[in-house]
Amino acid sequence: MTTIFTLEIQYEQDVVQARQRTREIAEQLGFDAQDQARLATAVSEIARNAFQYARGGTVEFSVAGEPQAFLIQIQDSGSGIPHLEDVLAGRYTSNTGMGLGIMGSRKLMDFFEMESLPGQGTTVVMSKRLSKRTPNFTDLQLQQIRESVMERSPQNPYQEIQRQNQELLRAMAELRKREEELTQLNRELEDTNRGVVALYAELDEKADSLQKANELKTRFLSNMSHEFRTPLNSILSLSRMLLARMDGDLTVEQEKQVTFIQKGASGLSELVNDLLDLAKVEAGKIEVRPSFFEVSDLFATLRGMLRPLLVQDSSVALIVEEPEGIGQIYSDEGKVAQILRNFISNALKFTEQGEVRVTAVQRGHTVTFSVSDTGIGIAPDDVERIFEDFVQIESSLQKQVKGTGLGLPLSHKLTELLGGSISVTSKLGEGSTFTALIPIVYPYATEFPTLLQPMTDGRSETIISLEPTRLPILAVEDHRETLFIYEKHLQESAYQLIATRTLAQARLALQQLQPAAIMLDIMLEGQNGWTFLREIKGDETTRSIPVLVITIIDNEKQALALGANGFLIKPVDRLQLLNKLNTLINQNKPQKILLIDDDPAYRYLVKQLLINTQLSILEAMNGWEGLNLAQREQPTAIVLDLEMPELSGFDVLNQLKSNPVTQSIPVIIYSSAQLDAETQSRLAKKSIAILSKETGSQTATMGYASPFLQNTPGTANAQLQDALIKAGLVLDHSGQSHV
């Protein structure tokens, strides 16, 4: 920072001099006339405050910073400003106008900072950046400006007033000129608006006519489905009968003619089917029938269905990758299959060699289905056009393949119908990738499958499919996707989700079961979650049930004040939710874990991994001892090795699950045995997790052997922690896991 000039304010004329000096220095620093006036006005306002309220002060002019800025510091030793925060916030009203002066000065500067302490005075620092067109000043140039200001004597105060009046007159003239320009512009806009309104009225009339014509066309096509398809099916059936010689032989020429008839009818049937499907979507007559289905099952069906489209000895390979980490989807399986069939058949038509690859990846609340090929590709200008009805792009292969130009438009509309979207990336000569983003839960479903079903009397509902080996968790949540996510989070854990979407369903569920905990969303559409929370905590029969409030707004204090036992803000991840439930359900309960393993080294390893937890660890060196300890001690969870002498881990697991005393204890398989897919699947139904020991390593990074352990591979600590949390254990009192 380089100081240029310092001015003492002792008399009223010094305020005028502060204004003059500000303008002089600003002019030499390259500020234009308007900025000079702004700077001079701001400084004179603050300097006048210093003189009027503190009987004097100092004004220091400097150049500082990078990029450089004109910095002014005004300091006084008065009694301070008692209402500074109100003044700066614009809330303070003063008879002398002090607050207005400060706020006005603040608006004129790029930077403004004010500090005032009772009895110690006030300091104001403000600055304005130099013009970008002005190069940085060197120390020598700033020294020359300083000398120039020192040599120049102050002007007469009356001259300054005259100059200030001239500036005011110029500003008023400029404002008047702009006002006249705005008036003229408003007149022109009014004329333009009248024309635009007339044009819009005409366009609306034309659009209404087109809309009515389109609706008539769509309604006609959607209602004529049967009338179109019946004669075409008759032609196809009759031509097949003739070609099958069911009524006698055909001449060579007759066979050729009937074959042409059959091909023509087949092509027309395909066109009619696509056209009618498209018309039904537009007319709103396509019904979405959502249900749970596995993507792997869908892909298996597509493999078998579409392989016949490949020509024998074709140089194109159809690769349908096995989806990983994707559970069930709640959507219309038939329509998803139809979208993918259109993508794949298009890719096969326009790919001469290479491959067509089908993949699926789950990202958040959607599944991304992709069909990529190594075909001829699409020009950038044509990418948007391919989704228009009947559009077929000119290409070397277009004449060789048949098509209606309706497959992609239909796929686009079906995807939107399912709540998703379509995109395409392509490069000429290299291939294309068509992508459909489908929500894992159909967003427009009026019903969502819960564990409630109507009773035979038709007037009430009952809970179905309760699993005796899992603890029920009642979820009160009106958002379908969130319920679906909760279901996935609790999958393969010690807890079973009881999903309810209304408070009435939740009250009914509480009449029929005692849940281990309640997950409650406060922001229920048209319902008061706070009232329900008060009900639960005010009723003797439900008061002891832990309530975990999960909502999008941070109302933790209010929730805890009304009796909630825990609080989380959406979205919640799996381990966070499970660990919180474990803490609420098992609070003040001693937790024991039983290790059944004949190898003392591995028992020692597990104990070391759990050394920093509050768990009580029991050990059994064989299966018989483990069964006795499990029945007698009732541990919270069991870690079981499969390969043991005398009684194997498989037999121990069977006996644990067949004994009513131990069948509900979660079991974690921890073994070095090589398991085939069938064995893993069988064990997964009876256990919480399957962890494999890495042979020959006592540091033992355990591999994932179970489909629900899909996190980023980590240490044995992280994987065992994951399994224990899913088994219902609390790893420390804070609810955060530090295994």
Q: What is the pLDDT of residue 684?
A: 78
Shared-domain flag, residues 494 and 558: yes
Shared-domain flag, residues 543 and 635: no
**What contacts 430, CB < 8 A, 6 or more positions away?**
374, 377
187 lies in some domain? no
Q: What is the pLDDT of residue 714?
A: 42
How many Å is the Cα radius of gyration of the chain? 40
Shared-domain flag, residues 105 and 23: yes
The β-bridge partners of 615 are none
In the numeric block, the tokens 């179905």 are attached to 464
Shared-domain flag, residues 530 and 596: no
Q: How many other C-beta atoms are found inside a 10 Å radius of the C-beta of residue 511? A: 9
Q: How far apart are CA 435 and CA 432, in angstroms?
A: 10
Phi, psi of 263 (to 5 degrees): -65, -40
33 lies in some domain? yes
Quick one: three-class SS letters along 525-543? CCCCHHHHHHHHHHCCCCC
User: Of residues 683 and 437, which shows the higher confidence score?
Assistant: 437
Q: How far apart are CA 334 and CA 288, in angstroms?
A: 9
Amino acid at 71: L
Domain count, the chain: 5
Shared-domain flag, residues 24 and 111: yes
Domain boundary among 129, 155, 181: 155
The CATH number that applies at residue 507 is 3.40.50.2300
Shared-domain flag, residues 425 and 505: no
- For 428-541, list the strands marked E by DSSP: 431-439, 452-454, 461-463, 471-476, 495-500, 517-520
Domain boundary among 382, 411, 439: 439
CB 626 within 8 Å of CB 652: yes
Domain boundary among 439, 462, 495: 439
If you ran DSSP here, which 8-state letter would residue 189 be given? H
CB 451 within 8 Å of CB 466: yes
The β-bridge partners of 692 are 671, 703
168 lies in some domain? no
pLDDT tier at 285, thresholds 50, 70, 90:
low
Which residue segment(s) compose the domain that 604 sits in? 592-726
pLDDT tier at 457, thresholds 50, 70, 90:
very low
Distance between first and last Cα of the chain:
54
Q: pLDDT digits over 162-220, tens only?
A: 666 666 667 777 778 888 888 888 888 888 888 888 888 888 888 887 777 666 666 66
Shared-domain flag, residues 20 and 85: yes
CB 477 within 8 Å of CB 505: no
Shared-domain flag, residues 429 and 300: yes
Shared-domain flag, residues 507 and 558: yes
Q: What is the pLDDT of residue 197?
A: 83
Shared-domain flag, residues 274 and 309: no
308 lies in some domain? yes
Shared-domain flag, residues 278 and 357: no
The Cα-based distances of 197 to 189, 190, 208, 211, 615 in angstroms read 12, 10, 16, 20, 76
Q: How far apart are CA 42 and CA 44, in angstroms?
A: 6
Report which secondary-structure segment, H or E, holds 230. Answer: helix 225-243
User: Of residues 287 and 344, which shows the higher confidence score?
Assistant: 344
216 lies in some domain? no
Amino acid at 58: T
CB 50 within 8 Å of CB 80: no
48 lies in some domain? yes
Shared-domain flag, residues 464 and 422: no
Whether the predicted model's global pTM rises above the 0.75 cut? no
Q: How many other C-beta atoms are found inside a 10 Å radius of the C-beta of residue 660? A: 7
Q: Chain-centre distance of CA 665, in angstroms? A: 36
Locate 121 and state its tokens: 């005075």
342 lies in some domain? yes
Q: pLDDT digits over 564-605, tens only?
A: 999 998 888 888 898 889 888 887 777 888 999 988 888 888
733 lies in some domain? no
